[in-house]
Homo-oligomer: A and B are copies of this chain.
Amino acid sequence: MNAKTKKSQGFARSRCPVANTLDIVGDKWSLLVVRDLLHGKQTYKELAESPEGIPTSILADRLKRLEEGGIITSAAYQERPVRYAYTLTEKGKALGEVLLAIVRWGKKYVPGTQTFK
């Protein structure tokens, strides 16, 4: 089901907020991009350099989907050569609460994980 179909039908899988949230960020990479943006990263290059090593094809796709989902916005911060900065919307920044819960869980239940900064 594409975005248009979803919009016309209302909901993809159910009306559950969990299901609908997972339809936007329920994959292995999206929340890592949000994490990086929350940490101040802004450019494609910075995002691509994170330790998890996201493939650039996936990064481009996720940036597109996150923008379609209203989580981020992109804007050229300079012309010649054109360079883009990605920033979180209010909706995107609010995912910080979800990430916080995930970090707390991970640090408690996945031994050896650690946060920096």
Residues of A bordering B, CB below 8 Å: 10-11, 13-24, 26-28, 31-32, 35, 50-53, 70, 91, 94-95, 97-110, 112-115
- Give the residue name and chain of the B residue nearest to A107 (CB): B17
> Closest 8 CB pairs between A and B?
A17-B106, A17-B113, A101-B101, A14-B51, A13-B52, A21-B106, A98-B101, A20-B110
A98 partner residues in chain B, CB cutoff 8 A = 98, 101-102, 105
CA distance A113 to B103 in the complex (A): 25
If A13-B52, A26-B27 touch, whether A18 touches B103 (CB-CB below 8 Å) is yes
CA distance A112 to B13 in the complex (A): 13
A10 partner residues in chain B, CB cutoff 8 A = 112
If A22-B31, A28-B27 touch, whether A17 touches B114 (CB-CB below 8 Å) is yes
Contact of A102 among B17, B27, B35 (CB under 8 A): B17
CA distance A27 to B50 in the complex (A): 20
